[in-house]
Amino acid sequence: MPRKQKRPVVEPIRRKCVGCGKVKLVTYREWYIPPVEKETFVSGADSRKSRLDIPGATVRNYCSSECAVT
Ligand SMILES: [Zn+2]
């Protein structure tokens, strides 16, 4: 019986684009993780922890990579 392979796909969400300020479907993201927290994240055994759980981590949402460039 063939198994369906499920890829980890980024959920299509609508957020305010940092580039143009419009609420659009996010296709591009930029993560900012504090160096100290990043170290904790890497060395920590709990690798299942999402980046969203890291205090101080922020994400910028863009509707396209073009908005991210500006
Ligand atoms: Zn945009």
Give the residue with greater pLDDT, 28 vs 6.
28
Mean of pLDDT values over 46-50: 60
The total domain count for the chain is 1
Centroid of ligand 1 to alpha carbon of 31 (angstroms): 16
Structural domain contains residue 29: yes
* Segment of 22-26, 34-38, 51-55 carrying the highest mean pLDDT: 22-26
Is 58 in contact with 29 (CB distance < 8 Å)? Answer: no
Structural domain including 24 reads: 14-36+51-69
Ligand 1 centroid to 12 CA: how many Å?
15
In 1-70, which ranges are E strands?
A: 14-16, 23-25, 28-32, 58-62
Q: Could you tell me what percent of the chain has a pLDDT over 90? A: 30
What is the distance in A from the centroid of ligand 1 to the CA of 44?
A: 35
How high is the mean pLDDT of the chain? 78
Q: How deeply is 18 buried, as exposed, middle or buried, from its count of CB atoms within 10 A (0-12, 13-18, 19+)?
A: middle
Among 6-10, 15-19, 33-37, 47-51, the range with the most confident prediction by mean pLDDT is 15-19
Is residue 58 included in any domain, yes or no?
A: yes
